[in-house]
């Protein structure tokens, strides 16, 4: 059978694109293929589940464009499908005077992006949560929330199946499948660049994996009731170690952003690939030698995060608590796009097209939050770029 659309990757981006397509035209024939046995077995099912408000991103970015609307659309989908959304809120805290300017920058970005965000005093923060530390000011985001990302993806799968979308699991993409559809949409995450290169695209890009480890608080009295984030280094795409309140009201700290040695380097030597090892070592070495965006310091600090004691100590600077009762959780891998020519990690979403395909090459945080709004934009872009009319 030849489909109107073949979507590679059953994560949140692939699922929401299918959702947007089938809602626009219920007559479309769509198949989603994935090399795994179920939906959301990689980043989409291993992320924090935080629905970001949208104040981190510059106003000219796609992330800023879709985060606020994506937050709203995700909450609406969850309401319609009985998925609990915890209104967990968020504060960004400063460790000292050197980070105050960063708070003001985030506040300005939030206002430009039409985000409900407020600079508050230490006393105001104490009223919200007396356990949280900050210096003079903090940034408060009331619209930040948390959901269970796997529940969202499973609900999408069930909805799409009812609308006639087919799923083919344990089916890795290869070039011979191109003839099975009028149009291919590549949402393959960690392998999106490889598939794009089969189409002669993504020539200047390579995906680098970064390992995200979380620790779950196992004590009796949670250290905080809010999402607590540090002021990030706005020159790199990582937000730093923070506290997340999950949809089921647990507290976890993380994630790390440790350079991984191969693309699915979740633990030990599982899914080991020698070719991927060589590739990641080569490009990480270039980043180290050129010290792009202060990569040496970032890498050194992140590798220290393998030590639980170091990791927890870093997190303890954000809140007052005595218990050191944290249990390691399943790791996730961030598929981070590198521009090989400029030797920089791309901060925004990156998409490339030809007349028969679209390739989502960089869909990192807050891609989960943005997904419904991002999918609407992508389908508009696909319709603009299509030259072959679906039957």
Q: Angle formed by the axes of helices 295-304 and 274-290, to 10°?
A: 130
pLDDT of 1 reads 81
Mean pLDDT along residues 368-382: 97
Q: What is the pLDDT of residues 280-326, one digit of tens each?
A: 999 999 999 999 888 998 898 899 988 888 888 888 889 987 677 89
Average pLDDT, whole number, for the chain? 94
Which tens digit of pLDDT belongs to each residue from 172-204? 999 899 899 999 999 999 999 999 999 999 999
pLDDT surpassing 60 at residue 388: no
Distance CA 253, CA 120 (A): 23
Give mean pLDDT, residues 10-15: 98
Average the pLDDT over 330-351 and give the result: 95
Whole-number percent of the chain with pLDDT over 90: 84
Average pLDDT, stretch 248-269?
Answer: 94
Q: Which of the residue ranges 95-99, 227-231, 361-365, 383-387 would you say has the lowest mean pLDDT?
A: 383-387
pTM for this entry: 0.95
| Overall average pLDDT of the 108-122 stretch | 97
Q: What confidence score (pLDDT) does residue 330 get?
A: 87
Per-residue pLDDT band at 390 (split at 50, 70, 90): very low
Answer yes or no: is pLDDT of 129 > 50: yes
pLDDT at 387: 59
What's the average model confidence in pLDDT over 18-39? 98
Q: Are 248 and 148 in contact (CB under 8 A)?
A: yes
The answer to whether residue 391 scores a pLDDT higher than 50 is: no
Distances (CA, A) of 116 to 64, 110, 220, 288, 349: 13, 7, 33, 38, 23
Span 148-159, mean pLDDT? Answer: 98
What is the CB neighbour count within 10 angstroms for residue 288? Answer: 15
Q: Which tokens in the block code for residue 110?
A: 């939030």
């Amino acid at each position: 059978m030849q489909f109107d659309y073949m979507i590679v990757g059953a994560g949140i981006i692939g699922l929401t694109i299918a959702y947007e397509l089938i809602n626009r035209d219920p007559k479309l024939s769509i198949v989603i293929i994935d090399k795994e046995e179920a939906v959301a077995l990689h980043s989409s099912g291993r992320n924090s589940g935080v629905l970001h408000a949208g104040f981190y991103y510059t106003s000219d970015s796609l992330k800023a464009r879709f985060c606020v609307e994506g937050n709203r659309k995700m909450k609406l989908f969850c309401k319609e499908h009985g998925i609990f959304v915890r209104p967990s809120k968020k504060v960004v805290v400063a460790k000292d005077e050197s980070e105050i300017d960063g708070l003001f920058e985030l506040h300005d970005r939030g206002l430009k992006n039409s985000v409900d965000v407020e600079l508050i005093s230490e006393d105001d923060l104490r009223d919200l949560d007396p356990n949280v530390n900050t210096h003079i000011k903090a940034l408060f985001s009331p619209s930040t929330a948390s959901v269970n990302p796997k529940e969202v993806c499973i609900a999408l799968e069930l909805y799409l199946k009812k609308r006639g979308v087919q799923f083919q699991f344990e089916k890795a993409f290869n070039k011979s499948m191109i003839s099975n559809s009028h149009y291919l949409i590549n949402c393959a995450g960690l392998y999106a660049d490889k598939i794009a290169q089969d189409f002669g695209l993504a020539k200047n890009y390579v995906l680098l994996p970064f390992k995200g480890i979380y620790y779950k608080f196992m004590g009796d009295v949670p250290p905080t009731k809010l999402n607590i984030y540090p002021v990030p280094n706005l020159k790199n795409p990582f937000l730093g170690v923070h506290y997340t309140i999950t949809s089921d009201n647990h507290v976890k700290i993380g994630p790390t952003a440790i350079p991984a040695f191969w693309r699915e380097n979740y633990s030990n030597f599982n899914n080991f690939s020698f070719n991927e090892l060589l590739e990641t070592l080569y490009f990480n070495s270039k980043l180290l030698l050129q010290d792009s965006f202060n990569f040496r310091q970032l890498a050194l600090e992140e590798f220290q995060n393998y030590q639980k004691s170091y990791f927890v100590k870093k997190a303890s600077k954000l809140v007052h608590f005595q218990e050191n009762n944290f249990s390691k959780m399943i790791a996730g891998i961030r598929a981070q796009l590198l521009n090989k020519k400029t030797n920089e990690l791309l901060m925004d979403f990156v998409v490339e097209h030809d007349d028969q395909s679209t390739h989502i090459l960089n869909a990192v945080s807050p891609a989960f939050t943005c997904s419904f709004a991002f999918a609407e934009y992508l389908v508009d872009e696909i319709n603009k770029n299509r030259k072959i009319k679906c039957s």
